[in-house]
Amino acid sequence: MFLSTFEKPLDAKRRLVVPMEFRASVSGPFDGVFCFPSIEADCIEGGGKALYDRYQAVIEELDVGDPLRYSLEFTVLGGMAQLSFDTAGRVTLPENLCQMFGLTDQAVIVGLGDRFQIWRPDAFHAERLRQRQSARDGLAALRAQQRQARMGGAA
């Protein structure tokens, strides 16, 4: 599992040290990660072979010619890079992904369980505020629904 948040420097070659906890999550026949433009946010998304397999399975459920299938193939598979770890536990981020999301000398890596995201620090901090508020609002709404269901079920 990819957990926690880390701020890491990017060197001039766009190499990023992947946290040891993340490297341990993806150990297997392929020693590295898959990265692609996130569908949900303006950042890089990545993970191990299990994440790749999950996206591939979703794509294969859709018929050839389905616009959603094409969108997923184009965005995920077409934007994907397979990044191997070097001996120092670094990956070299593709220049096109760095340019797309404005990554220069620092990056924030956010663990999301079975995947992670790589953000420009200022974009991450703004997104964190938005998501905290969304989580608060969503949890309050969920609790209200649960209270309503309990009260309605007791009547």
**Domain extents in the chain:** 5-120
In the chain, the largest separation of any two C-alpha atoms, in whole Å, equals: 66
CATH number of 5-120: 3.40.1550.20
Side chain identity at residue 50, one-letter code: A
Tokens of 128: 């964190």
Note the pLDDT tens digit of each residue in 105-149. 999 999 998 899 999 999 999 999 999 999 999 999 999 999 999
Dihedral sign, Cα of residue 8, residue 18, residue 15, residue 50: negative
**C-alpha distances out from residue 101 to 107, 108, 124, Å:** 10, 12, 11
How sure is the predictor about 30, in pLDDT bands with cuts at 50, 70 and 90?
Answer: low
Q: How many CB atoms lie within 10 A of CB 2?
A: 23
Residue with tokens 């040891």: 20
31 pLDDT higher than 80: no
Cα 9 to chain centroid distance, Å, stands at 18
Which CB contacts under 8 angstroms, 24+ apart, belong to 138-141? none
pLDDT of residue 38: 95
Tokens of 85: 């770890």
pLDDT of residue 50: 86
How sure is the predictor about 35, in pLDDT bands with cuts at 50, 70 and 90?
Answer: very high
Count of residues making up the chain? 155
Of 9, 1, 35, give the one whose Cα is nearest residue 114.
1
pTM score: 0.86
Give the DSSP H/E element, type plus range, for residue 68.
helix 67-72
Alpha-carbon distance of 154 to 53, in angstroms, equals 45
Mean pLDDT estimate for the chain: 91
How sure is the predictor about 28, in pLDDT bands with cuts at 50, 70 and 90?
Answer: low
Alpha-carbon distance of 93 to 9, in angstroms, equals 12
